[in-house]
C-alpha cells in the first residue's frame, strides 16, 4: 500500500502492483473463493489508489500543470468508470457468465488509464513541480491511502474537498466490515 518516494514513484509502484494482480487473475483457472479473494484484493488497491489521486494528485495537476484542469477531469472520469465496474464485480457471483468479460473490461480500462498517466500526466507534473513538492505529494498520497475506503462508492462525490471529508469515515466503516468478514486478509 505505501511504497515510499515521491508521488510519481509511489503511484507507479501502485500501478506495477495492480498489474501483478491482473497477471495472477489472468493465470487463474476456475471460480470460487480464490477468485473472490483476488477480486477483493484488486478492488481494495484500486479504490485506495483512486481516492488518494482524487484528493491530492489531480488538485496538484490543476494547480501546477498548464491545461491541467481538463486532464484531471478526464482522469476522474476514468476512475468513475472503474469504480462502477468494481461495484458490479462486488455484487456478482464468481460463476456468473458476465464475470470474465467484466474483468477483461476492467483490466483494459485500468491499463489505458495507467498508460495515460505514465506517458502524459506524470512527466508534465514532474516538469511543473519541484522535487520537494513531489515528495510532499507522495507523503500525502500515502496518508490518504491508509485512510481511504476499501470498497467502491461510485455515488460518493469526487471533489477533493468532499473526498477529504467523507473518505476517512467511509474508510473506517469499510475497514470494520473487512475485519468482521475477513475480506482482504488472504
The DSSP annotation for 38-88 comes to HHHHHHHHHHHHHHHIIIIIHHHHHHHSTTHHHHHHHHHHHHHHHHHHHHH
User: If we measure between CA atoms, which residue out of 15, 4, 108 comes closest to residue 53?
Assistant: 15
Number of folded domains in the chain? 1
Residue 185 is placed in which grid cell? 486478509
Contact 160, 54 (CB under 8 A): yes
- Is residue 70 domain-resident? yes
Region of 88 (left: φ > 0; alpha: ψ -120 to 50; beta: rest) is alpha
| Residues comprising the chain, all counted | 186
The alpha carbons of the chain give a radius of gyration, in whole angstroms, of 16
- Is residue 81 domain-resident? yes
- Is residue 67 domain-resident? yes
- Is residue 186 domain-resident? no
Span 156-174, average pLDDT: 50
Dihedral sign computed on CA atoms, order 102, 108, 112, 118: positive
- Is residue 1 domain-resident? no
> What are 25-72's pLDDT values in tens digits?
999 987 789 999 999 999 999 999 999 999 999 999 999 999 999 999
Contact 114, 16 (CB under 8 A): no
Return the SS3 of 146. Answer: helix
> What are 93-129's pLDDT values in tens digits?
999 999 999 999 999 999 999 999 999 999 999 999 9
pLDDT at 169 over 80: no
Q: What is the pTM of this model?
A: 0.82
- Is residue 61 domain-resident? yes
- Is residue 100 domain-resident? yes
Contact 47, 151 (CB under 8 A): yes
**Domain enclosing residue 119, as ranges:** 7-181
CATH number at residue 128: 1.20.120
- Is residue 2 domain-resident? no
pLDDT at 15 over 60: yes
User: If we measure between CA atoms, which residue out of 75, 50, 51 comes closest to residue 125?
Assistant: 75
Amino acid at each position: 500500500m505505501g511504497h515510499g518516494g515521491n508521488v510519481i514513484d509511489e503511484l507507479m509502484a501502485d500501478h506495477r502492483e495492480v498489474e501483478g494482480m491482473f497477471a495472477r487473475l489472468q493465470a487463474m483457472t476456475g471460480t470460487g473463493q480464490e477468485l473472490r479473494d483476488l477480486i477483493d484484493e484488486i478492488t481494495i488497491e484500486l479504490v485506495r489508489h483512486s481516492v488518494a489521486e482524487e484528493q491530492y494528485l489531480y488538485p496538484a495537476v490543476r494547480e501546477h500543470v498548464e491545461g491541467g484542469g481538463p486532464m484531471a477531469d478526464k482522469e476522474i472520469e476514468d476512475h468513475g468508470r472503474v469504480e462502477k465496474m468494481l461495484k458490479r464485480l462486488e455484487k456478482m457471483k464468481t460463476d456468473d457468465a458476465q464475470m470474465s468479460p467484466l474483468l477483461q473490461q476492467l483490466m483494459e480500462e485500468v491499463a489505458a488509464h495507467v498508460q495515460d498517466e505514465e506517458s502524459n500526466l506524470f512527466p508534465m507534473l514532474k516538469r511543473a513541480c519541484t522535487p520537494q513538492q513531489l515528495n510532499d505529494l507522495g507523503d500525502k498520497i500515502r496518508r490518504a491511502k491508509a485512510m481511504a475506503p476499501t470498497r467502491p462508492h461510485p455515488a460518493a462525490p469526487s471533489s477533493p474537498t468532499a473526498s477529504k471529508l467523507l473518505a476517512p469515515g467511509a474508510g473506517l466503516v469499510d475497514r470494520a466490515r473487512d475485519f468482521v468478514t475477513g475480506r482482504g486478509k488472504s
